[in-house]
Amino acid sequence: MINVILADDHHLVRQGIRSLLEKSEDIKVVAEAENGLEAVKLAERHEPNVLVMDIGMPRLNGVQAAEQIRNLGLATKVVILSMHSDETVVRQAIRSGAWGYLLKDSVATELLLAIRAAQRGEVYLSPAISKVVMVNFVNGQKGIEDADGFDSLSLREREVLKLIAEGYTNKAIAEALFITVKTVEKHRANLMAKLHVQDLAGLIRIALKQGLIFLDE
């Protein structure tokens, strides 16, 4: 039996997915979460085989939750549902520990395939995403280069970038991370230098591109 947790901030979506999964004799839904932080806590408590999660979750998005679950050393495999087919976002999700990445317009049977593949320790991508990855490989683009300098950022700099992109003021960031406003200002200056941008819009663009924040789906 494959034990599954569902995580989506829309109750009706969770109901629909649960209804689909409960028709399968080898899959059991053991819990539901309405935000990313709750999903991580439930994964710690229940240790399910698979966590099916929307990428645009509040508190922690799907990518961040996958990374936390991996860092906690849990055996739970994360399958992400998303409207984003951009290869950069997909790469970020897989790099953060996700075992599956499904577009929301996929047919229902694909989710079952993804869950079973993840449980076996196999990565599953929607066919449309796999096609993009293959085309880029054939064209010689074996993974997107770090043209914007994101990979050079420290963990703290990524935290600051995320909060800046979410609209936090320097003072609010300082309070959230327990650092001084002066330190936040220094991080902001370093971010602009490392990412080769001149303004807030540039920082937000890169945060979106790298999957730190997501537009409402």
Range 167-171 average pLDDT: 90
φ, ψ of residue 100 to 5 degrees: the values are: -150, 150
Q: Is there a domain that residue 104 lies in? A: yes
- In this structure, the answer to whether residues 162 and 130 fall within a common structural domain is no
- Which residues neighbour 214 within 8 Å (Cβ) at sequence distance 6 or greater? 55, 56, 61, 84, 208
Q: Which domain holds residue 68?
A: 2-138
Whether the pLDDT of residue 145 is over 60: the answer is: no
User: Between the CA of residue 19 and those of 15, 22, 108, what are the distances in Å?
Assistant: 6, 5, 11
Looking at 112, 138, 164, the residue that finishes a domain is 138
**What are the pLDDT digits (tens) for 79-113?**
999 987 777 788 788 888 899 999 988 888 899 99
Looking at 138, 161, 196, the residue that finishes a domain is 138
pTM, full prediction: 0.66
Q: Is there a domain that residue 214 lies in? A: no
- In this structure, the answer to whether residues 80 and 169 fall within a common structural domain is no
- In this structure, the answer to whether residues 29 and 65 fall within a common structural domain is yes
- In this structure, the answer to whether residues 174 and 84 fall within a common structural domain is no
- In this structure, the answer to whether residues 124 and 158 fall within a common structural domain is no
- In this structure, the answer to whether residues 117 and 179 fall within a common structural domain is no
Whether the pLDDT of residue 134 is over 70: the answer is: no
Cα–Cα distance, 214 to 94 (Å, whole number): 16
User: Count of domains in the chain?
Assistant: 2
Where residue 4 falls among pLDDT bands split at 50, 70, 90? very high
